Structure 1
Amino acid sequence: MTPDTDIAERLRQSIGHLVRVVRAQADTLPPPQAAALGTLDRDGPRTIAGLAAARGVKHQSMSRTVGELEALGLVTRTPNPDDRRAVLITLTGAGVARLGEDREARRRWVAGAIAARLTAEERRVLQTVPDLLDRLAAGP
């Protein structure tokens, strides 16, 4: 491995581990439901097929997830103005609030872990990481 591929692998593993731990500690929704709500929040209303494609899951799985979210009052089905045969899945006010609660719980958990486990110098270093990751994600 080159130094760049080594750090890339360490980042991949560490970021994945952090995400899994934070979700396990802070999320109140099952991962498929939280992911669907997050997609709707970021991308706006979608068909079930569009949601399934965005999440990389089968239509049947997303249909089940949407049904669960709808039963919880977190999403609603609205007519698609571009295709009368289709419906759009839209976040409700309760869905926006629930997503916000989960995000706040994650923030609190990470902030608590930072305060408890990192030195002041490590916190200063950590402050640079989001900008670096954003630059990496920006692409060429």
Structure 2
Amino acid sequence: MGAQRGRDLLLKLDQTGSGTFLTVAGLRARQVALNATSIDITTADSAGRWRELLEGAGTRAASLSGSGLFKDSASDAAVRQVFFDGAIRSWQVVVPDFGILEGPFQVTALEYAGRHDGEVTFELALSSAGEISFTAA
């Protein structure tokens, strides 16, 4: 994978559960994390007493955090409503030249900031709440 423009990473929300995703924000700074816990099955009989792990048994999770500008006031309102409702919605995270992560996420943090001589920005954190799919670009 070659160098990519970070500004092309998009965040899309399915507001109604219809499978139609609307772009709500372009993120200026962001981090996508994929994690998996492991299950240790090491015993006294393990070869050389090296740790052994149970394949496919851990818990997987995805999280996204980022900051940027909302596309418009309707996008801001939609994300804000999802946060205040504590709702779990389908989201897409489009990473250019890499692929699309899609699945249910909950907004776990939403912060606003702004300077007197600049635009209002936001910071957002999403945590996976179910199975996440990946479609390669």
Is this a same-fold pair by TM over 0.5?
no
The structure where helix makes up a greater share of residues is: 1
The structure where strand makes up a greater share of residues is: 2
TM-score norm. by structure 2 comes to 0.29
